[in-house]
Amino acid sequence: MKKITVIGGGGTGIMMAADLTMKGHDVTLFEMYEHAKKILEIKERGYVEVVGNAINGKAVIRKITTDISKAMANAEYILVSAIAQRQEELINLMIPYLQDGQVVCFSAGNCASIILKNKIKDKKVLVGEMQGNIYPCRMLENGTIISAFSYKEKGLAAFPAKDNNEYIKVMNEIYPCHAVKNVFEATLNSPNTSIHLAGSILGIAKMESMEDFRLYRDGITPSVVATIAAVEEEKALVMKKMDYTMGRAVGQMEAILEHEKHPELNIFIGLEGPSGVKHRYITEDAYVSNSLLLSIAKEFGIRTPIYEGLVAIASAVNHTDFYETGRTLRYFGLTGKKAEEINRYLETGEK
């Protein structure tokens, strides 16, 4: 049994806390008070019920709190699940209470581990992140949480990546995982980098004219799948330049087109969202992974017109320049460097 603190009161954080509780761990669930409605409802009820394709049952999470000092005290693992735009706020909240020997994991990471590690400097904390989100899940109206899939072994990377072996060893004690090259590879290989923005942008008209638009039920068509495949061809050029292993997500989208042959996808197809252009499928992915990939492409003269167009449209409909403000090479101070130099920084943490 491990002492684990989950930071984040959205569906994924609650699912993580419930799943780990039912697996026998001592779990604390934290959220800032202004975002804590869901977890306080669970605290009052006494349990959260998990249904779908995961361990089913009623999880009684040992501690649910809005007090960060109580949440962080004596935790062996701190698992952070929050939209990218909230990560730095939560990092700043955590830092005064981080203790030597603790392990921090972001899901999905989106390079948040770089931000945290650079802020804590020499504190002896293992920091890393998951390749993509840990569970595709949603909170239902009655306080039940539904998971489309059970946990599957994830690619993880530490920052700096020289800590990968130690990081994977300790993370394997709570989640089966394997190392990927570094946190850029983990971020760019998230399926969301290929699917969310392309699918959502092409579905805006339907999204804004339907009462209950669901991307995987209502927005995946042959032309959308063809666009996602083309996006992945652009992505492959960047991954090759950076010497990263390339994973592809278009196969699952092709399976959705023939969903009657794939009953295992039924819950996934029914997951709600995006509900509008301000949904995280657009605002988060344009801000982080898509802008990071686009910045690498621009740095090395790689043409990625579809990525560039998707980020531009996401910016236009939100009146926000996601590329200018996003997590790009410039954001991390890595412009003007060769691919090998960028990877060396991600390996060593030293510029």
Distance CA 289, CA 235 (A): 11
- What mean pLDDT is reported for the chain? 96
Distance CA 146, CA 50 (A): 6
Contact criterion met (CB below 8 Å) for 218 and 206: yes
Residue 122 has pLDDT above 90, yes or no: no
Banded pLDDT at 62 (limits 50, 70, 90): very high
Contacts of 209 (CB under 8 A, 6+ apart): none
Q: What are the tens digits of pLDDT across the range 297-322?
A: 999 999 999 999 999 999 999 999 99
Residue 351 has pLDDT above 90, yes or no: no
Q: Are strands 57-59 and 137-139 parallel, antiparallel or unpaired?
A: unpaired
Of the chain, the end-to-end C-alpha distance in Å amounts to 38
Contacts 24+ apart (CB under 8 A), 83-88: 83/10, 83/280, 83/284, 84/110, 84/112, 84/284, 84/287, 84/288, 84/327, 85/283, 85/284, 85/287, 87/112, 87/115, 88/112, 88/115
Which percentage of the chain shows pLDDT scores above 70? 100
Closest by CA to 207, choosing from 287, 323, 216, is 216
Q: What are the tens digits of pLDDT across the range 18-36?
A: 999 999 999 999 999 999 9
Paired tokens of 258? 């023939």
Distance CA 315, CA 282 (A): 9
Predicted TM-score (pTM) above 0.75 = yes
> What is the pLDDT averaged over residues 131-140?
90
> What is the pLDDT averaged over residues 78-100?
97
Which percentage of the chain shows pLDDT scores above 90? 95
Residue 135 has pLDDT above 90, yes or no: no
| Sign of the alpha-carbon torsion through 163, 164, 166, 167 | positive
Banded pLDDT at 347 (limits 50, 70, 90): very high
> What is the pLDDT averaged over residues 62-80?
97
Distance CA 23, CA 312 (A): 43
Q: Are strands 63-65 and 77-80 parallel, antiparallel or unpaired?
A: unpaired
Using CA atoms, how far residue 285 sits from 77, 156, 190, 202, 217, in Å, is: 26, 19, 10, 15, 20
